[in-house]
Amino acid sequence: MIRPGRHARSWFVSTALLVIAVSMPAIYVALHVFGGSNPVWDHLAATVLTDYIVNTFILMLGVAVLVTPVGVLCAWLISAYDFPGRAWLEWALVLPLAMPAYITGYAWSGIFEYGGPVDSLAAFLGSGSSLGIDIFSVYFLAALFAFVLYPYVYLVARSSFARQSAGLIEAARLTGAGNWEVFRRVAMPLARPAVAGGLALCLMEVLNDYGAVKYFGVSTFTTGIFRAWFALGDTGAAVRLAAVLMLFVFVLIVLERRGRARTAVSSSATMRRQTLRGKKALLALIFCLVPLSLGFVFPVVRLLTWAWRTASDVLDLQFVYLVLNSFALALGSAVLCCAAAILVLYTARLQRTRLAGFLAQSATLGYSIPGAVIAVGVMTPFAAIDHGIDGLVQSLTGSGTGLLLSGTLIALLYAYLSRYLAVAFQPVDAGFERTAASMDEAARSLGASPLRALLQINIPMVRTAILSAIILVFVDVLKELPLTLILRPFNFETLATRAFEFAGNEQLAEAANPALLIVAVGVIPIVYLNRLMNAKQAR
Amino acid sequence: MINPQLSIVEFNGVTKRYVTSEAPAVNEATFSIQRACITALLGGSGSGKSTVLRLLAGLETPEAGSIVLAGNTVSDGRTFVPPEKRNIGLVFQDYALFPHLTVKQNIEFGLGKKSKQDGQRARSMLELVELDQLGHRYPHELSGGQRQRVAIARALAPQPDILLLDEPFSNLDDALKAHVRRDLTRIIRTAEMTAVFVTHDVRDVFAAADRLIVLDDGHVRQAGRPDEVYQQPANPGVARIFGETTIIKAQSHGNMAHTAFGEIDLGVPEIPSNMLICLRPGDLQIAAQTESGLQAVVECTTFFGMYNELLLRLTPADSTTEPVHLTLPLSCDESYSPGARLTLTRAVRRIHFWPAD
């Protein structure tokens, strides 16, 4: 440990201030779990709160029941067997992550629409319209979420299987256990904590969603927050709803952290894959193709046909502005989050004290918290500050300042920082972990200040990690919806809000263009990170 | 006492405790390091030797005591000079070469703008470590030995007051080690540098160090010239650091030492009435049966190529004393069959002992 000299102290102070700032929205909301009585809240509690809770539970349960077998079995097939298509399925199975749930939802509603593919199929088969499936129900929505979110479970299960030692698997095989036995009795129990962690991430995404639940007319906490905020105009009730939602999230955070803490099995030798042939190979291929098709291929095809039809109406100069606007916002937030992550992690590196480690941990909490909650936690205090300043200035000078923070880009960037710092954090942290402590110490012993060591040694050494961090935040911000809807300045549009508005006006075909662009950008990190991973394995 | 004019480092009662453990890693260490000498810090793992180096470099903060470096107090209760202001050169065990910089850029990292521009300093450093042609290479394009020389050149480039090396020989295989030891001492002497290195291998000490500080369990146990410390270890712990040591109790019997295994002449006219005798493998030789000496039985003879090693069991006259084992090097054409009875006498000028009460 290098002692906090005068330099190190300023690092620590800036980190502490930053971490307090980014955790503020969540803390603000959490403090309102047990607020006083409020007529709108009482009304909500008496009428719709049960609905919100029941629907949220059904969604979470349905998603959990579906994503776990789908994600784990795909991961096992990819890890333990070799069959035609395995190599590209390995990364293609992650593709649904590029699709925000609301966009997949729009596409599926198009697939089921009157005169659409499913309808035609039903007519052909002579069954009722849309095969008797009611898509505007909580059960269909749960299935939809499952096929968008299973990659979270797939990814953690796959990496857990990859880390399991080949020795363990071989030892199990030598005792005469067949593949299914090996999976059931060795591989799966070892992967269980990791899978629980991945499942927790899925459920956090379910709680975060606003676009899909709104479109499918399922009332949950997020729709409730929007209703209280925009329709009833009661911020107090919105904050209370957000606070109750956070209780759900808290359980998931504990689950996820425990999952991560207990996945420390590591080994250099990975299991050898068995080659499948004939019918078995075909079955494995089909099993993996189903979630990929439902979560990515079919929706994308639907969007493409729409986009083709409406391109001439939608793609105008205004659309170009929209794209530039969205990209600039996403890039700005990505750079901001990345810089903040570097500051926090470098301070922890300089100090290596428990307090610095705790600060770094706290900085990552925001990602678990739904965007709508963060938005409420930013908007309410910012509005109060604005009114305070405005009132003060008005009483002194006679003319007010208007809104300085709320309803400006500052509020939006601040909220993105609070929510997406964790996204930038993870790759940068991993990069720093791989950098030996002796690198910093060598630089310092050669006369470099902490700042110079950071700029000339640490940052160049983790530049790939920083690039990954920027791409990941960029994509997340680009597809973000609820937070942006609440905090965006008046008349400020992003690709996501534009798609949401088209869909809200039943202009699904028009929504396809911005939606497809979001998906296309979302595919970039999947392909890029996959190539990065392969390059590492080859080395 | 060492002349303060000559000492470049002073540790006064320095204590350091890591958060993770109860016992201090370094416990009230007091010693000094002489200018223009190569000093070895010797100790086993967990002895605190690396921590001493890190304290001196400013990479750790002591919780008590003071450290003086080149006449300035760099660390005590009130002041703490950060590592970048200490003017020390540090060579890490893993060398810590910056992977994204070339050899030349690595060496220039610690130089000011001016000496960077004319390139003279980097050139002369590359010459010193005999890597003149490799300045444009990246660290991953070098062999282990070359990397170490780059690390040394980089540490020496800013002309530090003292060069610190953490386990400089531990990453090398035996064949390379002897070569690197010679190289390293040549470079340090050519640069007229004060150097301190940490090691757990006594052969490094004898091959490269002018002075030795022995650490054990966080305490400084002994300091002095390596041969002095070897011949007169302050206590059994220090003696054992140098390798196999058999310690047996003895009483004076005239000028002979009387033990449970027989009598032995220690080569000293006056001996205390009670003592502990310190026997190293080379200290004894096989005597004629008639002479008095320590009584032993052969357990086995092991062939080691250049020499044979005899494993012996000292046999006590009375049955209350436990037998002890010791080894004796023999030339490779000598050997004894198991069970043979031998008498052992002093082979060296003097056998070391500690008075006991």
Give the chain B residue whose CA is nearest to the CA of A446.
B110
Cβ neighbour number for residue A456 with a 10 Å cutoff: 17
Using the predicted structure, report yes or no on whether residue A277 has a pLDDT greater than 50: yes
Domain of A459, CATH number, reads: 1.10.3720.10
**B181-216 per-position pLDDT tens digit:** 888 899 899 888 999 999 999 999 999 999 999 999
Reply yes or no on whether the pLDDT at A184 is more than 80. yes
| Ranges A10-24, A58-72, A362-376, A495-509: which has the least confidence | A362-376
Q: Which backbone phi and psi does B253 adopt, to 5 degrees?
A: -140, 85
B147-164 average pLDDT score: 93
Number of other CB atoms surrounding residue B265 within 10 Å: 16
Q: How far apart, in whole angstroms, are the C-alpha atoms of residue B253 and residue B272?
A: 10
Using CA atoms, how far apart are residues A453 and A430, in angstroms rounded to an integer? 18
Same domain for A143 and A260: yes
| pLDDT at A420 (0 to 100) | 92
Q: Which residue of A has its CA nearest to B93?
A: A438
Cα distance from B7 to chain A (closest Cα, Å)?
Answer: 21
Whether A4 maps to a domain, the answer reads: yes
Quick one: closest CA in B to A449, which residue?
A: B84
Q: Tell me, what's the pLDDT at A4?
A: 46
Distances (CA, A) of A145 to A206, A455, A523: 7, 42, 18
Assign A473 to helix, strand or coil. helix
The confidence score (pLDDT) of residue B175 equals 79
Q: Per-residue pLDDT for A512 more than 80?
A: yes
The Cα A515–Cα A303 span in angstroms is: 8
The answer to whether the CB atoms of A445 and B89 lie below 8 A apart is yes
Is the Cβ pair B84, A1 closer than 8 Å?
A: no
Same domain, A343 and A424: yes
Strand-pair category, A274-275 with B211-216 = unpaired
Choose between A43 and A322: higher pLDDT.
A322
User: What would the mean pLDDT of B113-120 be, rounded to a whole number?
Assistant: 80
Most A CBs within 10 Å, among B98, B101, B154, B166, to test the A interface? B98
Same domain for A245 and A344, yes or no, is no
A380-411 residue pLDDT tens: 888 888 888 888 888 888 777 777 777 788 99
- The residue of chain A with its CA nearest to that of B90 is A445
Apex CA B304: angle with CA B299 and CA B307, to 5°? 90
Greatest C-alpha distance within chain A: 87
pLDDT of residue A360: 84
B87: chain A residues, CB-CB within 8 Å: 447
Q: Which helix (H) or strand (E) holds B9?
A: strand B7-16
B99: which chain A residues are within 8 Å (Cβ-Cβ)?
461
Angle, alpha carbons A128-A132-A136 (nearest 5°): 135
Residue A4 in contact with partner chain B when CB distance is under 8 A:
no
- Together in a domain, A229 and A197: yes
Flag whether the pTM goes above 0.90. no
- Distance from C-alpha of A378 to C-alpha of A396, rounded to nearest angstrom: 27
User: By the CB < 8 Å criterion, does A84 face chain B?
Assistant: no
Which amino acid makes up residue B250? Answer: A
- Give the pLDDT confidence score for residue A340 in this predicted structure: 95
Q: How are strands ordered across the β-sheet holding B72-75? A: B26-34, B7-16, B64-69, B72-75
pLDDT > 90: what percent of chain B?
57
Of A27, A87, A220, A43, nearest in space to A142 by CA: A220
Note whether A2 contacts B88, CB cutoff 8 Å. no
Interface contact flag, A441 B84, Cβ < 8 Å: no
What's the rounded Cα separation, in Å, for the pair A101 and A209?
7
| Angstrom distance (rounded) from CA B279 to CA A72 | 65
Q: Which member of A438, A456, A461 has the closest CB to residue B92?
A: A438
- What is d(CA A458, CA A342) in angstroms, rounded to the nearest whole number? 10
What tokens were used for B172?
A: 């090398």
Judge if A48 and A149 occupy the same domain.
yes
Is pLDDT of A124 > 90?
no
The reported pLDDT for the residue numbered A1 is: 42
pLDDT above 50: residue B2: no
Among chain A residues, the shortest Cα distance to B56 is held by A445
A86, part of any domain: yes
pLDDT tens column, A244-272:
888 888 888 787 777 666 555 555 566 77
Task: Pinpoint the alpha helices (H) of A404-506.
Answer: 409-434, 437-445, 450-453, 459-461, 463-479, 482-487, 495-504
CA B68/CA B79 separation, integer angstroms: 11
Each residue's pLDDT tens digit, B260-303:
998 999 988 888 999 999 999 889 999 877 778 899 999 999 98
Given a contact cutoff of 8 angstroms between Cβ atoms, the answer to whether A40 and A240 are in contact is no
CB contact at 8 A, A82 and A274: yes
Q: Using CA atoms, how far apart are residues A50 and A316, in angstroms rounded to an integer?
A: 45
Q: Specify the higher pLDDT residue, A537 or A327.
A: A327
Backbone torsions φ then ψ of B312, nearest 5 degrees: -120, 150
Q: Which of B161, B280, B144 is nearest to A447 (CA)?
A: B161
Among candidates B45, B62, B5, B53, which has minimal Cα distance to B163?
B53
Q: Are strands B162-166 and B195-199 parallel, antiparallel or unpaired?
A: parallel
Alpha-helix runs per DSSP H in A210-363 = 211-215, 221-226, 235-261, 278-292, 298-314, 317-351, 354-362
Domain count within chain A:
2
Closest partner CB to B94 (pick from A5, A438, A448): A438
Let me know whether A325 and A459 are in one domain: yes
Q: Which domain holds residue A391?
A: 1-23+315-493
Least confident of A104-118, A416-430, B195-209: A104-118
Question: Which domain-ending residue is among A299, A327, A362?
Answer: A299
Query: For B10, how many CA atoms within 13 A lie in the half-sphere containing its CB?
Result: 17
Question: A444 and B83 in contact by Cβ < 8 A?
Answer: yes
Q: pLDDT, tens digit, for every residue of B70-109?
A: 989 999 888 899 999 999 999 999 999 999 999 999 999 9
| Antiparallel, parallel or unpaired: β B219-224 and B262-265 | unpaired
CA dist A301 and B107 (Å) reads 57
Does A436 sit within 8 Å of B96, measured CB to CB? yes
* Residue matched to tokens 């597809």: A479
| B151: closest chain A residue by CA | A442
pLDDT mean over A415-430? 90
Q: Which of A445, A451, A462, A463 to mutate to test the interface with B (most CBs of B within 10 A)?
A: A445
Residue A66 lies in a domain: yes
Q: Of A474, A493, A512, which residue sits at a domain end?
A: A493
Report strand pairing: B211-216 vs B38-42. Answer: parallel
Among A274, A299, A324, identify where a domain stops: A299
A539: pLDDT strictly greater than 60: no
Q: Considering only alpha carbons, which residue of chain B is nearest residue A444?
A: B84
Asked if the structure places residue A290 within a domain, the reply is yes
Question: Can you give the pLDDT at residue A260?
Answer: 64
Does A441 contact B57 at a Cβ distance shorter than 8 Å?
yes
Q: Do A1 and B60 touch (CB under 8 A)?
A: yes
Element (H, E) at A535: helix A508-538
Q: Is A444 on the interface with B (CB under 8 A)?
A: yes
With CA atoms as reference, report the closest residue to B47 among B198, B242, B229, B236. B198
Rounded to the nearest 10 degrees, the angle between the axes of helix A101-111 and helix A508-538 is: 130
How many residues are listed for chain A in this entry?
539
| Interchain proximity A439–B98, CB inside 8 Å | yes
Tens digits of residue pLDDT in B294-353: 999 999 999 888 889 999 999 888 777 888 899 999 888 888 899 999 999 999 999 999
Inter-chain touch B80–A449, beta carbons under 8 Å: no
Shared-domain flag, residues A322 and A280: no
Same domain, A18 and A43: no
Strands B7-16 and B64-69: antiparallel
A446 found inside a domain: yes
Asked whether residue A498 is domain-assigned, the answer is no
Could you say which of A5, A445, A448 has the minimum Cβ distance to residue B80?
A5
Looking at residue A136, its pLDDT comes to 82
**pLDDT tens digits for A27-71?**
888 887 776 667 777 887 788 888 888 999 999 999 999 999 999
Which positions in chain B touch A349 (Cβ < 8 Å)? none
| Rounded (10°) CA dihedral A163, A164, A169, A172 | 180
| CB within 8 Å: B84 and A445 | yes
**Domain assignment present for A19:** yes
The yes-or-no verdict on residue B252 having pLDDT over 80 is yes
> Are both A266 and A408 inside the same structural domain?
no
Residue A35 backbone dihedrals phi, psi, to 5 degrees: -80, 175
**For position A131, what pLDDT does the model report?**
63
Calpha distance A434→A74 (Å, rounded): 30
Nearest to B84 among A447, A457, A461 (CB): A447
Q: Smallest CA–CA separation between A438 and chain B, in Å? A: 6
On whether any CB of chain B is under 8 Å from the CB of A539, the answer is: no
pLDDT at B3: 52
Task: Examine the domain organization and report whether A64 and A209 are in the same domain.
Answer: yes
Residue B96 to residue A2, Cβ atoms within 8 A: no
Residues of A in contact with B100 (CB under 8 A): 460-461
- The per-residue pLDDT for A461 is 92
Count of residues for chain B? Answer: 357
> Taking residues B244-263, what's their average pLDDT?
90
B79, B84, B86, B106, best to mutate vs chain A, most A CBs in 10 Å: B84
What radius of gyration do chain B's Cα atoms show? 25
Name the strand (E) or helix (H) holding B299.
strand B294-303
Q: A456 touching B, CB under 8 A? A: yes
Q: How far apart are CA B318 and CA A203, in angstroms?
A: 78
Tell if the CB–CB gap between A444 and B93 is shorter than 8 Å.
Answer: no
- Angle value at C-alpha A222, between A220 and A224, nearest 5 degrees: 70
Residues A374 and A464 in one domain: yes
Average pLDDT value for residue range B135-158: 92
Q: In this structure, are residues A263 and A159 in contact, taking their beta carbons and an 8 Å threshold? A: no
Using left for φ > 0, alpha for ψ between -120 and 50, and beta otherwise, residue B11 falls in: beta
Q: Work out the average pLDDT over B166-170.
A: 88
Interchain contact, A3 vs B80, CB within 8 Å: yes
The pLDDT tens digits for A333-375 are 999 999 999 999 999 888 877 888 888 888 888 888 888 889 9
Measured distance CA(B60)–CA(B46) in Å, rounded = 16
Residue B144 structure tokens? 């282990």
Mean per-residue pLDDT for A153-165?
A: 83
Q: Is residue A509 part of a domain?
A: no
Clarify whether residues A67 and A181 are in a common domain: yes
Average pLDDT over chain B, rounded to an integer: 89
Q: Which pair of structure tokens corresponds to residue B133? A: 């042609």
SS3 for A216?
Answer: coil
